[in-house]
Structure 1
Amino acid sequence: MVATEVGDKRVDYIPGNSSIRLVDFPLKDASFRSRRLLQLALATIPWAEKSQYLLFPSIYELEPQAIDVLRQELSIPIYTIGPTIPYLSHNQVVSTNHDYINWLDNQPLGSVLYVSQGSFLSVSSEQIDEIANGLRESGVRFLWVMRGESSNWKNICGDKGFVLPWCDQLKVLMHSAIGGFWSHCGWNSTREGLFCGVPFLTFPIMMDQPLNSKYIVEDWKVGWRVEKEVKETVLIRRDEIARLVRRFMDLDDYEVKEMRKRARELQQVCQSSIASGGSSENNMEEFLGHILHGAKP
């Protein structure tokens, strides 16, 4: 873990990126698992220069400076083809026969916080307990995907929470009752949240998640951090969580209104990118043209 006094310092000289806190770099987690994943990721970088093409599951309009720098540094075509997630209409969402969709159908518009910490990693059981009690004390409606023994938490979470071991995340995020997304900020979840126009409460764990959280909060301005301060040992208490969630889901709060407005604007950017004439659509057509017609990049 980066020491507190160092972690809050910023690096502002990485081409194509705005300033980044040291604590948001993948180096902050010193566990063997984290180091191993970082080593595997770094090992793939030399292969980029040997490739004929680079395809990124991102959208040019979300990070144009970074993509432009890569195009300057590498002599191969670079295409953003994101968000690379299946598109669902509202009709497809409401026609799905699941208990959690039926529950969402009976909740007010934009009133439910969707909570998911991902399927790969998790936080400590002590932190999970604080999150569960904080959500309950907030008085906010929430749908929480809890991997493993989700049934053990149902009584703790109260009558405003719906706890389950799995859901179709994209369908949930597209539901009109969802007003926010408590997320670990994995890239897949980040893309889906942006595509669905949902603001974030960010709770990253490791690897690229803190950087994704940084972009959500600081660059795109469509979310708030759950962890407000850089600390050596982090345990977010239930009273902090309750206050934050209560305000985040307050539709009358001016800052929340502006954040939701920006989330809807980014949703339009994401959906326009895959429409006819959009940046991702054009990139995919150009890439396929090279492949199908044997043109050299």
Structure 2
Amino acid sequence: MDLSRSQAGAARMAHVMAIPYPGRGHINPMMNFCKLLVSNTTDVLVTFVVTEEWLGFIGSEPKPDAVQFASIPNVIPSERARAENFPMFIEAVMTKMEAPVEQLLDRHELPVTTILADTYLFWAVRIGNKRKIQVGSFWTMSVSVFSVFHHFDLLAQNNHFPVDLAERGDELVDYIPGLPPTRLVDLPTFFEGKGRATLNRALECFSWMPKAQYIIFTTFYKLEARAVDALKAELPLPIYTVGPLIPYMELKAKSSLSASRNDRPDYVRWLDSQPEASVLYISLGSFLSVSSDQMEELTAGVRSSGVRFLWVSRDSDSWVKDGFCGDRGRVVPWCDQLKVLNHSAVGGFWTHCGLNSTLEAVFAGVPMLAFPIFWDQIPNCKQVEQDWKIGWRVKKSRDELVPRQAIAEIVQRFMDLDSEDGKAIRKMASELQQACGQAILNGGSSHSDINAFIGDISKKIMC
């Protein structure tokens, strides 16, 4: 689609400049939201802004014509190295991207009417305020984690920050509006290490958040209704829950395509040959990874469990030994995760509990073995096990090295479909799956909020 339309037509269009935080877990949900926006109306155009490196990664991926890419120079460290010095990467994102985005705005022929920016890109709110462009603050973690940061001052007031988690980690936080009682050790990892080093930057983002005009959450209302309601009662900004922002629209298209062509990948054909709900799908995310010692225990435990597994790992060459998989497993460098989770052979998901993966499991109705590593994955794990009751926590403490015997035992119990515990989490997962499906139907909470957001950003143009 040519974004330089006639001035008469352009004057009626909402032109959204979408600026994701440069990481896969942030880019994907924002792109999915942009696709939903343009699929619900012909009156929205999107310019999706990424670095030149990220354009190389995703520029050839399919998207609607109404979504166009624009790039800024590689002013931040490479995606391939960001885990090596995460605080330095964060600092670059906070300080180096603003100027080239401003230059992009100056060069754009079609005026931008709304900026949709990741909440972590606080400078986008500053740009919007300065240029009188409305800004939607786009939060890619759970509503509960948003609320923790928004109410961070309450932690200090209640003598819960700073603290030594080894001594006081089991103390309960029961004063954050909309949040069920939560142990300090189950909050994001901002008490120490890399998390503590980046905390002030995260809090700076939340000091700018109220200066935006909209807040968009990537979850769906029923998943975190109490936290959403508490924020709506407190904040004067419109709040939209538009998730799950996972590629569920593409899932249907791919399914029909696969039905008409026998071109399914090997791992899907392998899943086709497995009994129903017998396979444990294992993925530890695309960013941070576990220690080499823990990986050794994990591989040994999974293998000795005797459970069927599909394991996705980009660096499997470093740990997969000859004969590891046998007839009961497969290791692949990449897979279509949502398609795998929706396959009838998959009965469980070993996950790091990033929100996108968690939402995909909820959508598919698959229970989880939670193995969080960093930041928001920790409270997501707590929600999976205690609040939603759709999974089990593998590690009992953050720094614990889980031995292979314990891994084998929990995997066997988890994949036992006849056990009472297994039946209970699968029943809850099925109920949450239904609520998720209802949210995205016409008239559902997420579908309605997407249309409300479109209406609100369009009204401002007509005024």
- TM tier, smaller: over 0.9
* Structure 1 residues 243 and 156: CA distance shift in structure 2, 3 A: farther
Which residue does 1:148 correspond to in 2? Answer: 315
Cα shift at 1:294: 2.5
The one-letter amino acid paired with 2:223 is L
Question: Are positions 1:67 and 2:228 aligned together?
Answer: yes
Which residue does 2:177 correspond to in 1? Answer: 15
2:264 to 82, 85, 97: 97
Question: Are positions 1:115 and 2:277 aligned together?
Answer: no
> Deviation digits for residues 204-244 of structure 1, max 9, x if unmatched?
011000100111110100000001x336x410000000000
Question: Are positions 1:163 and 2:331 aligned together?
Answer: yes
Aligned length: 293
| Distance in 2 of aligned mates of 1:182 and 1:38 | 28
Question: Are positions 1:217 and 2:378 aligned together?
Answer: no
Report which stretch shifted further, 135-144 or 36-45: 36-45
The one-letter amino acid paired with 2:432 is L
Contact 1:38 1:207 in 2 (8 A): no
Which residue does 1:124 correspond to in 2? Answer: 291
* Structure 1 residues 190 and 40: CA distance shift in structure 2, 3 A: farther
Contact 1:94 1:105 in 2 (8 A): no
The one-letter amino acid paired with 1:24 is D
Question: Are positions 1:193 and 2:361 aligned together?
Answer: yes
- What percentage of aligned pairs have identical amino acids? 51
Question: Are positions 1:262 and 2:262 aligned together?
Answer: no
Cα shift at 1:72: 1.4
* Structure 1 residues 193 and 2: CA distance shift in structure 2, 3 A: farther
Question: Are positions 1:282 and 2:448 aligned together?
Answer: yes
| Distance in 2 of aligned mates of 1:171 and 1:29 | 37
Report which stretch shifted further, 59-68 or 85-94: 85-94
Cα shift at 1:35: 3.1
Cα shift at 1:91: 3.3
Cα shift at 1:15: 1.0
Is the radius of gyration larger for structure 1 or structure 2?
Answer: 2
> Deviation digits for residues 20-43 of structure 1, max 9, x if unmatched?
1111122466223x3344343322
Q: Which structure carries more relative contact order (alpha carbon 8 Å, separation 6+)?
A: 1
1:25 to 162, 178, 187: 187
* Structure 1 residues 93 and 104: CA distance shift in structure 2, 3 A: farther
Aligned-partner SS, 1:113 = strand
Cα shift at 1:44: 1.5
Contact 1:173 1:196 in 2 (8 A): yes
Cα shift at 1:73: 1.4
> Deviation digits for residues 54-96 of structure 1, max 9, x if unmatched?
1110111011111111111110110100101121238349546
**What is the TM-score normalised by the length of structure 1?**
0.92
Cα shift at 1:287: 1.2
* Structure 1 residues 29 and 92: CA distance shift in structure 2, 3 A: farther
Cα shift at 1:161: 1.9
Aligned-partner SS, 1:294 = helix
**What is the TM-score normalised by the length of structure 2?**
0.60
| Distance in 2 of aligned mates of 1:217 and 1:254 | 16
* Structure 1 residues 63 and 170: CA distance shift in structure 2, 3 A: same
* Structure 1 residues 5 and 230: CA distance shift in structure 2, 3 A: farther
Which residue does 1:272 correspond to in 2? Answer: 438
Question: Are positions 1:226 and 2:430 aligned together?
Answer: no
* Structure 1 residues 169 and 39: CA distance shift in structure 2, 3 A: farther
* Structure 1 residues 47 and 93: CA distance shift in structure 2, 3 A: farther
Contact 1:151 1:164 in 2 (8 A): no
Aligned-partner SS, 2:322 = helix
* Structure 1 residues 2 and 161: CA distance shift in structure 2, 3 A: farther
2:343 to 171, 175, 186: 175
> Deviation digits for residues 182-225 of structure 1, max 9, x if unmatched?
00000111111111110000000110001001111101000000
The one-letter amino acid paired with 2:355 is W
Could you list the runs of 4 or more consecutive aligned residues of structure 1 that deviate by over 6 angstroms after TM superposition? none
Question: Are positions 1:47 and 2:208 aligned together?
Answer: yes
Aligned-partner SS, 1:120 = coil
